[in-house]
């Protein structure tokens, strides 16, 4: 075996391994970038859903306040009717 053959016998597999390692690194970076992009989309979607739920929560709180006000008015009206009935002796 000549020196050139020895260098080729050792160099070609080594070169192929280095090309494989570089290809894997590039592929890993591409996959990592895709995961980051998906993570960004999920984060954006989560923020939008949270904002919508907060909006709905605010509307329910507003309805709850209105319902409490209405309940108070009904209780006041019931008290008035009860007093009128007591004065008229209707109860």
| 8 A C-beta contact, residue 73 and residue 67 | no
pTM (2 decimals)?
0.54
pLDDT tens readout for residues 39-73 = 999 999 999 999 999 999 999 999 999 999 999 99
Measured CA to CA, the distance from residue 13 to residue 19 in angstroms comes to 10
Token readout for 90 is 């209707």
Name the residue among 10, 30, 32 with its Cα closest to residue 18. Answer: 10
| DSSP 8-state assignment for residue 1 | -
Measured CA to CA, the distance from residue 43 to residue 16 in angstroms comes to 40
């Amino acid at each position: 075996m000549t020196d050139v053959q020895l260098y080729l016998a050792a160099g070609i597999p080594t070169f192929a391994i280095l090309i494989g390692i570089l290809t894997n690194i590039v592929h890993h970076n591409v996959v990592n970038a895709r995961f980051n992009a998906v993570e960004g989309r999920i984060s954006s979607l989560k923020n939008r859903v949270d904002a919508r739920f907060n909006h709905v929560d605010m509307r329910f709180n507003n309805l709850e306040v209105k319902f409490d006000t209405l309940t108070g008015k009904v209780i006041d009206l019931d008290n008035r009717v009860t007093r009128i009935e007591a004065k008229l002796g209707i109860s």
